[in-house]
Amino acid sequence: MQLGTRWTAGDEPPAAVPAAMRAQIAAVEAVTPADQFGQPAPRWTLTWLEGRPIAELDTGVIVMLDEDGRAIVRHDEGDGFG
């Protein structure tokens, strides 16, 4: 069993986040607009599904590994991610 973890966008991802996902997480953060309304920074949640890591930002953006171990980005709102 693997436990998930949370961290704030812009902070260094925890050691549990696979190296293969870190560049895509940083890329998502680079294009996520800085909040201008005093809201807290979005947070990432790392979970594991069938042994594969999934990092989801509070905004709905998901970074996960495909079957070949490559990081992919998805967003269900059709905002240009993945």
Q: In angstroms, rounded to a whole number, what is the distance separating the alpha carbons of residues 4 and 45?
A: 7
Contacts of 29 (CB under 8 A, 6+ apart): 9, 10
Domain chopping of the chain, boundaries: 5-32+42-75
For residues 17 and 81, which has the higher predicted lDDT (pLDDT)?
A: 17
Q: Would you state the pLDDT for residue 82?
A: 46
Element (H, E) at 23: helix 19-31
What does the pLDDT look like over 3-47, one tens digit per residue?
Answer: 789 999 999 999 999 999 999 999 999 988 766 556 778 999 999
Contact indicator for 39, 59 with CB cutoff of 8 Å:
no
Q: Would you state the pLDDT for residue 1?
A: 52
